[in-house]
Structure 1
Amino acid sequence: MRRALVLVSARCAALALLLSSCAWGGADEGGGRLPAAPTGVTAAAGSATSVHVMWNAVATDRGIRVYEVYRGPTKVKEVPGSAHMVDVAMLRPSTSYAFTVRARDTDGRLGPPSREVRATTPAAVAADHAAPTRPGKPHGRAVGSRAVQLSWSRATDDRDVVSYDILQGDTKIHSVGGNQTATVVTGLRPGTRYSFTVRARDAADNLSPATEAVRITTPGTDDGRGTAPTGFRASTHREDGAHHLDLSWVPPRTDGVVTEYEVRLDGRTATSLVYGGNAPRERATYSFYLGRESGVSHRVRIRGRLPDGTWGGFSAERTVTTGARR
Structure 2
Amino acid sequence: MRHVPAPAVPAPASVLRRCALFCGALVLVTSCGWGTGDDSDDTGGMPGAPTGVSAQAGSATTVHVMWNAVDGVETYEIYRGGTLVKKVPASDRMVDVTRLRPSTGYAFTVRARDAAGRLGPRSREVRATTPTAVADDAAPTRPRSAHGRAAGSRAAQLTWSAATDDRGVVSYDILQGDTKVHSVGGAQTAAVVTGLRAGTRYSFTIRARDAADNVSPASATVRLTTPGTDDGRATAPTALRTASHHADGAYYIDLSWVPPRTDGAITEYQIHLDGRPATSLVYGGDAPRERAEYSFYAGSRAGVTHRVRVRARLSDGTWGGFSDERKVTTGGDG
Match of 2:98 in 1: 89
Q: Does 1:128 align with 2:136?
A: yes
> Which one-letter code corresponds to 1:203 in the other structure?
A
- Of 39, 42, 45, which residue of structure 1 is paired with 2:54? 42
Aligned: 1:111 with 2:120: yes
| 1:18-54, Cα deviation, whole Å (9 max, x unpaired) | 4456xxxxxxxxx941111111111111111111111
Q: Tell me if 1:202 matches 2:203.
A: no
Call closer, same or farther: CA 1:135–1:33 in 2, change over 3 Å. Answer: same
Is residue 145 from structure 1 mapped to residue 165 from structure 2 by the alignment? Answer: no
Structure 1, unaligned stretches of length 5 or more? 22-30, 229-248, 276-283, 292-301, 315-326
Amino acid paired to 2:268: Y
> Is the contact between residue 103 and residue 130 of structure 2 (CA under 8 Å) also seen in structure 1?
yes
Q: What is the Cα deviation at residue 68 of structure 1?
A: 0.5
Instruction: Identify unmatched segments of 5+ residues in structure 2.
Output: 1-13, 32-42, 238-258, 272-277, 296-310, 324-334
Q: Is residue 84–residue 308 contact of structure 1 (8 Å, CA) maintained in 2?
A: no
Cα distance in structure 2, aligned partners of 1:201 and 1:271: 42
Match of 1:218 in 2: 226
Matches within 5 A, 1:237-256: 253=263
> Which of 4, 24, 31 is the aligned partner of 1:11?
24
Shift of 1:96: 0.8
Could you state the TM-score of these two structures normalised by the residue count of structure 1? Answer: 0.66
After superposition, the Cα gap between the structure-2 partners of 1:223 and 1:149, relative to the gap in structure 1 and judged at 3 Å, is farther
- Structure showing greater Rg: 2
Alpha-carbon deviation of 1:215? Answer: 1.2
Partner in structure 1 of residue 77 of structure 2: 68
- Equivalent residues, number: 252
Aligned to 1:6, the other structure's residue is in SS state: helix
CA contact (8 A) 2:266 2:287 kept: no
Change (3 A) 1:183 1:67: same
1:295-314 paired onto structure 2 within 5 Å? 305-311=314-320
Aligned pair partner of 2:162 in 154, 161, 170: 154
Are the structure 2 counterparts of residues 253 and 121 from structure 1 closer, same or farther at C-alpha, using a change threshold of 3 Å? farther
Structure 1 match to 2:34: none
TM-score (norm 2): 0.65
Instruction: Decide which of 259, 268, 274 is 1:261's aligned counterpart.
Output: 268
Q: Map Cα deviations across residues 91-118 of structure 1 (whole Å, 9 max, x no partner).
A: 0011111111110112222111112111
Q: Distance in 2 between matches of 1:286 and 1:2?
A: 25
Rounded Cα–Cα distance in structure 2 between residues aligned with 1:167 and 1:306: 20
Q: Secondary structure at the match of 1:150?
A: strand
Which residue among 169, 173, 177 is the counterpart of 1:165? 173
Task: Give deviations 1:235-268, integer Å, cap 9, x for gaps.
Answer: xxxxxxxxxxxxxx9x9656xxx7943499xxxx
Instruction: Calculate percent identity across the aligned residue pairs.
Output: 59
Q: Report the AA paired with residue 11 of structure 1.
A: G
Relative to structure 1, the CA distance from residue 285 to residue 154 in structure 2 (aligned partners, 3 Å threshold; closer, same or farther) is same
Q: SS where residue 10 of structure 1 aligns?
A: helix
Cα deviation for residue 83 of structure 1 reads: 0.9
In structure 1, how many angstroms separate the alpha carbons of the residues matched to 2:187 and 2:147? 17
State the alpha-carbon separation in 2 of the partners of residues 175 and 90 from structure 1.
Answer: 18
